[in-house]
Structure 1
Amino acid sequence: MVEFERNANIIDDKCPRHSIMIGRYKQSFAYYTLRERLPVILTKVIDDLSQNKDTIINECSEEAREELKIVVGNISELKYQLQTDKELYPLETNEIDKSTWNIFLSSLPENERTYFSTCWLWAECYLYRRLKTIFEATTTLKNFDYFKSSKQKALIGSKDSIVSLVKSTRQTLTLDSDIDKYFKKLLYLDLWGNKCDLSITEGKDIKQTGDQLEAVDHLKEYILIDQAEEIWNLISQKYTGERYIDFICDNAGYELFTDFLLAEYIIEHKLATKIRFYIKAIPWFISDTTPEDFEWVLKYLYENNNEELKLIGNKWKSLVDQGKFILLEPDRFFISPYEYYRMKEIAPHLYDKLSEAHLLIIKGDLNYRKLLGDFTWDYTEKFETCLRGFNPTNICSLRTVKADLICGLEEGLAEKLFEKDSNWMLTGEYGTVMLQLHKN
């Protein structure tokens, strides 16, 4: 430990205010993630591959037996490079984002090209992208999702809760009164669905229990910034022609289920005509949604032996078939190291696409970090300032707080929370519902 800290120039302090978050600072969540969480996640991938190799070979081919040995060895090497703060080497892959990544890596100053010396966001995204390249180099495992089992268990383990949600939300869909009340309830439900984050639990199984729609009424005090009323005022505005609401999704499984519930409500009450979903192209941060996860959740529901789940699964599949739920082709910008304020420059086609929407609902902690850029803003800094010009349309951020950065808090609130719990920013106990209106 002492030798590592000396070689990596570790500083026993917090990240300074108004600076990029770097793993070099020992009292930061960036350091803890790189030093503790990510090695555990890589070890779990290795263990899962080893324990399930016979199943994987049966699904792929006998050739996968030897390739699994190579993959496990390469993941072990990746883990060693992380734990010894090695350089962020150029990606070796034939995928289309190779040049994007390697141009970015070559642009880093030479003294900021290791895991603990560069921005935490960049280092963590790089690790997950490097992990995927190991599988891309194989013949039989190119499309293998090494996080699939964990994601699916998170929804299956929450079956009782989602059955309860289906029953309670069927009643709200038929009501023509209190639309604002139930919209906000489902917005809060979608916020707290973000607690189902496997990366924060290092891949350990999690599940939701109880009536979550009822629970949201008791969680209001934990929402540190609540602009649900302003979001309702925006979304309830009258319109003519087509109106898109876009979701930049976060976790698969239970959280995606809550995304669908909110999206269904929006469509049923004609608050928009189409919902578009943006997801990840590859397995990402353990639980992030891929196209296969999107399809699997629908299939799990419409093939379920529970009648309520079967009915809602068929309905949502019908919304997909009708073009009211639209799963967009994954854009590689979302698995790049770039923050959102760089999107207009790096991926102008995506920025223009988002500009078509009336409202952009951005889910989760990683997306929040990309909005703020892993920068230690003042806790009271305006959301608009932290977005640094990212302004394609009206933006709603739904996030449970699981990393030590935040903005938009009332004066003195952060200090009160620290007095109560020094780790309040890391637990997912608190949430934010934030809105930034589009400015022409």
Structure 2
Amino acid sequence: MAGLNFIRRPYSWQGQAGQYAPVIDGTKIPSFCFTTIQERWPKIVTKLVDQLHQFQPEAVKMYGEQGDADVKLVTSKLSEMRYLMMTDKPLHDISTDAPDALVWNSELDKYRKDNGPENGGKRTLLCSKPSPPDGHRHRNCWLTEKEISIEETRVTILRILQIALWGNKCDLSLSGGDPHFISDTLFHELEELEGNILVNDLHIAVNNFILRPESQLAQLDIVMDNAGLEVKVVLHGKAYPWFVSDTTKKDMDWVLEQLASDEDQYLSKLGIRWLQFFSEGKFDSSFVIFKGDLNYRKLVGDRYWPLETPFTEALCGFGPAPLLALRTLKAETVAGLSERAIKLIGSKHSEKDLSWMVTSEYAVAQLFDPN
């Protein structure tokens, strides 16, 4: 079938058993990573500069000349960052007192050494992974609040997981922060979309883990993607956002505070109870759900894995607990595809057409069980 060999080995990688796949960087044109670095990041930084300009009069009113000077300093630094991104200048050490600055600077030093003397030991953004070396902070909360009544049935749980999977088609970061809205039609298209799930372990995950007796499934954890339509159990945010809509502690605190102060007495009781549970540390995991494209890319190391590489191998030893990865494809990395899935892709796309890896048309629901 035309394109099948190419699809099996994106970018003609000729690896050997036991070797890691090459790391994704921005040198491939066109690619998700190149577009991210050349277009998305500068747009996001530009929006931050615009927001600061709008805030400047308020800063002067609140803090006087010092506030005005601070805003000008930050906008200057951001403008410089945007220039460095767009011109692919070498990465510099992070000069802040952030708790993880030493870790990042150590990694940057390794990158410089690995890049070799022929390039002056310089590491640029286009030679880096598609996740920024220093996460930018985005404070606009984008959350669809919706009560979801979960019946104790297999069909309902499968439906919820499918909604969570395809809900990743709504992602603020892909537009640089422009709002997207979840279409009601998503809830009526699950059967049609199911044919585009290239790896579907949902039934195994539900039967073997989620519907276990309560005494066996002590806790279900969800590693969150975007602050959007989320399904509740235990939610893990990020220390800082890799991209615009990533969920941070501030987003979680905001949601809990909104619930606790809601006029509806039941929502308010729920919010107060959750706040208490968080403060008492009651929330520990028997099964973890990783939701979203970015979390998937981190699981497989942002690498060009051959499509048939077992998902377990692509995890490179990571497996703190049984886990389920829900992801719609938005970047040129995926592993664990079956022969059937590879043939499906080959029947619809030509040899050089990798657009199927970035359009969110296809999805995977991949299970890892360490036992």
Please indicate, yes or no, whether the TM-score normalized by the shorter chain is above 0.5: yes
Aligned match of 1:371 in 294, 299, 308?
299
**Cα 1:239/1:204, change in 2 over 3 Å:** closer
Q: 1:285: Cα distance to partner?
A: 0.7
Residues in 2 aligned to 1:242 and 1:66: alpha-carbon distance in whole angstroms:
54
Task: Provide the identity percentage.
Answer: 28
CA RMSD of aligned residues (A): 2.9
**Cα 1:28/1:73, change in 2 over 3 Å:** same
Residues in 1 aligned to 2:75 and 2:213: alpha-carbon distance in whole angstroms:
55
Aligned match of 2:30 in 20, 27, 31?
27
**Cα 1:46/1:218, change in 2 over 3 Å:** same
**Cα 1:323/1:51, change in 2 over 3 Å:** closer
Letter in 2 for 1:414: I
Q: Does 1:403 align with 2:358?
A: no
How many residue pairs get aligned? The number is: 343
Match of 1:391 in 2: 319
Letter in 2 for 1:51: Q
Q: Does 1:298 align with 2:256?
A: yes
- Secondary structure, aligned partner of 1:399: strand
Q: 1:429: Cα distance to partner?
A: 2.9
Higher relative contact order (CA 8 A, sep 6+): 2
Aligned match of 2:210 in 223, 231, 235?
235
Q: Is the 8 A contact 1:192 1:400 kept in 2?
A: yes
Match of 1:226 in 2: 200
Residues in 2 aligned to 1:403 and 1:394: alpha-carbon distance in whole angstroms:
24
Q: Is the 8 A contact 1:246 1:361 kept in 2?
A: yes
Q: 1:430: Cα distance to partner?
A: 2.4
- Secondary structure, aligned partner of 1:432: strand
Q: Does 1:318 align with 2:273?
A: yes
Aligned match of 1:114 in 123, 134, 143?
123
**Cα 1:302/1:218, change in 2 over 3 Å:** farther
Q: Is the 8 A contact 1:319 1:325 kept in 2?
A: no
Greater than 6 Å deviation, 4+ residue runs: 324-328
Q: Does 1:413 align with 2:371?
A: no
Structure 1: 5+ residue stretches without partners: 1-13, 132-144, 264-274, 329-355
After superposition, residues 28-43 of structure 1 pair within 5 angstroms as 28-43=31-46
Residues in 1 aligned to 2:100 and 2:106: alpha-carbon distance in whole angstroms:
10
Residues in 1 aligned to 2:281 and 2:288: alpha-carbon distance in whole angstroms:
14
Q: Is the 8 A contact 2:93 2:105 kept in 1?
A: yes
Match of 1:83 in 2: 86
- If the length of structure 2 is used for normalisation, what is the TM-score? 0.82
Q: 1:230: Cα distance to partner?
A: 0.7
- Secondary structure, aligned partner of 1:259: coil
Q: Does 1:207 align with 2:135?
A: no
Q: Does 1:358 align with 2:286?
A: yes
Match of 2:154 in 1: 180
**Cα 1:47/1:64, change in 2 over 3 Å:** same
After superposition, residues 108-257 of structure 1 pair within 5 angstroms as 108=111, 109-111=114-116, 113-116=122-125, 118-121=127-130, 124-126=131-133, 128-129=134-135, 131=136, 145=137, 147-149=138-140, 152=141, 154-155=142-143, 158=144, 162-163=145-146, 166=147, 169-170=148-149, 172-173=150-151, 176=152, 179-210=153-184, 212-233=186-207, 234-238=209-213, 240=215, 243-252=218-227, 254-255=228-229
Q: Structure 1, residues 56-98: CA drift from partner, whole Å, max 9, x if none? A: 666x644332211110100111111122222221111112212
Q: Is the 8 A contact 1:23 1:118 kept in 2?
A: yes
**Cα 1:61/1:361, change in 2 over 3 Å:** farther
Match of 1:268 in 2: none
**Cα 1:415/1:312, change in 2 over 3 Å:** farther
Q: Is the 8 A contact 2:259 2:271 kept in 1?
A: no
Residues in 1 aligned to 2:204 and 2:27: alpha-carbon distance in whole angstroms:
39
Q: 1:116: Cα distance to partner?
A: 4.4
Q: 1:211: Cα distance to partner?
A: 6.5
Q: 1:15: Cα distance to partner?
A: 4.4
Q: Does 1:51 align with 2:54?
A: yes
Letter in 1 for 2:132: C
- Secondary structure, aligned partner of 2:290: strand
**Cα 1:419/1:25, change in 2 over 3 Å:** closer
Q: 1:413: Cα distance to partner?
A: 2.9
Residues in 1 aligned to 2:33 and 2:309: alpha-carbon distance in whole angstroms:
21
- Secondary structure, aligned partner of 2:308: coil
After superposition, residues 268-347 of structure 1 pair within 5 angstroms as 275=234, 277-301=235-259, 303=261, 311-312=266-267, 314-322=269-277
